[in-house]
Amino acid sequence: MGALGLGLSARNQTRPVRARTQADFLRRAYRLNGRWVTEAEFFQAGTVSGAGGSIRRGGRLTPAGAPRVGDTGLLIEDPRTNWVTAYAAPVDLARVSLRIAGGSGPATLSLEEDGQALEAAGLDSITGGRAYMLDNRMGTTPARIQVQGASPDDQPLALSAYVRGGAGRLRTAFTDLQTGGFTASDGYRRVTAMQSDGLAAGARSTNDVLWVEAAPGEAVWMACPQLETGDWASSYIPTHGAAGVRTRDQISFPRAALGLDLDEGSLRVELGEHRRGRVAARIIGTDGPNGASLLNFVGNSDTQIGTYNGESVLSVSSEYQVVDLKAELNWGLGTVSLAAGSAYVLSEYSMPHHHNLYIGESQAGNYSMVKSTVSYLSVD
């Protein structure tokens, strides 16, 4: 059988008019091995796994298991834990508390019905229309909402929350470094912050793992807090009095279901967004004796393989994000080739050894794909 060859498609290259198998995840139009099918029929042809996450669909943030096809395409993320133990749809102030800098002051913390603003942000169904309200308008020192939870030691942390109202900060209780300051806003928006350095065992308090702080003279509303280990803040993982877990998003299709020709063919992928962690990040892979990574973002060493917009994207030692990429993989007779400036790495394996095509990881622990939003996929 022939070897595989990879080239980065031009951005204005047209898609196949009617590929044997194609999935337009933005328009939710699907063709499977020569016939048009419904979205349910398309995914029923494969094996889908993933649970505990959320998706924004029709402008609304809702809990969702895989496949997570939403407003921006098919969302594929790595497994994460939201270590916050507060409730996604709270009914009281359980697992949150108020603290005022200096120990005293007029600030108050309450649970408020905020359905109109939450609905405008698409957060009403996941929160039950309620949000925490920190009123520090009469205060002269900062006040904060302290959210309970836990987290492993010696790990980088990603913090996020939806906030509206006055100015403040999103931070942990563990350091003043790398806090996420935010400005006043009438509507809810998600703010994030990173803390790259972990702390030694015993240095974390389960009573206040995440803070949302209101500056003096400000009032802040907060919903959907999240604290996770990793280099990026991922999609919201709902919690219900305990840490929430999202399992790995993964989809695999038998090659026969796709009509995949082992002698000659092509595979096209369009990404709206891709983020990887500190090691290789697979987008499309196969199984078999050697498990090829057909499209992935880094090689097996820290040698620069390619560039994107003049910057190296293949350094194993650092994270990277790219958006709006199109790539096409072709196989048949010929030699392996990598287009100049390509942001992808090719693994050489013979197609006949592979029985399934994977979107996401085919094996846990080998790669670190934090997030990919796939807008289009075709096999011909």
Q: Where are the domains of the chain?
A: 4-79+249-379, 82-242
Q: How far is it, in rounded angstroms, from Cα 37 to Cα 42?
A: 6
115-128: b (≥16 Cβ within 10 Å) or e: eebbbebbbbebbb
pLDDT in the model for residue 325: 67
Quick check: 31 pLDDT over 80? yes
Q: How far is it, in rounded angstroms, from Cα 111 to Cα 243?
A: 21
More confident call, 306 vs 118: 118
The pLDDT confidence band at residue 118, using thresholds 50, 70 and 90, is: very high
Quick check: 289 pLDDT over 80? no
pLDDT in the model for residue 16: 64
Strand order in the sheet with 96-100: 96-100, 143-147, 210-214, 168-171, 180-182
pLDDT in the model for residue 123: 97
Ranking 83-97, 228-242, 293-307 by mean pLDDT, the lowest is 293-307
214 Cβ partners below 8 Å, 6+ apart? 107, 134, 135, 136, 139, 142, 143, 144, 165, 166, 167, 168, 220
Condensed to tens digits (0 to 9), the pLDDT of residues 238-284 reads 999 999 999 988 888 988 898 877 667 777 777 777 666 555 555 66
Ranking 142-146, 191-195, 252-256, 330-334 by mean pLDDT, the lowest is 330-334
pLDDT in the model for residue 362: 46
More confident call, 210 vs 6: 210
On whether the CB atoms of residues 145 and 224 are closer than 8 A, the answer is no
pLDDT in the model for residue 127: 97
On whether the CB atoms of residues 178 and 193 are closer than 8 A, the answer is yes
The pLDDT confidence band at residue 299, using thresholds 50, 70 and 90, is: very low
pLDDT in the model for residue 69: 95
Work out the mean pLDDT of the chain and round it to a whole number: 76
More confident call, 94 vs 369: 94
Task: Tell me the pTM.
Answer: 0.83
pLDDT in the model for residue 328: 65
Q: Find the mean pLDDT for residues 212-236.
A: 91
Q: How far is it, in rounded angstroms, from Cα 361 to Cα 231?
A: 18
The pLDDT confidence band at residue 222, using thresholds 50, 70 and 90, is: very high
Instruction: Identify the architecture of domain 82-242 in CATH.
Output: Sandwich (2.60)
pLDDT in the model for residue 323: 62
Q: Could you give the percent of the chain with pLDDT greater than 70?
A: 65
More confident call, 312 vs 215: 215
Quick check: 236 pLDDT over 80? yes
Q: How far is it, in rounded angstroms, from Cα 135 to Cα 218?
A: 7
pLDDT in the model for residue 213: 92
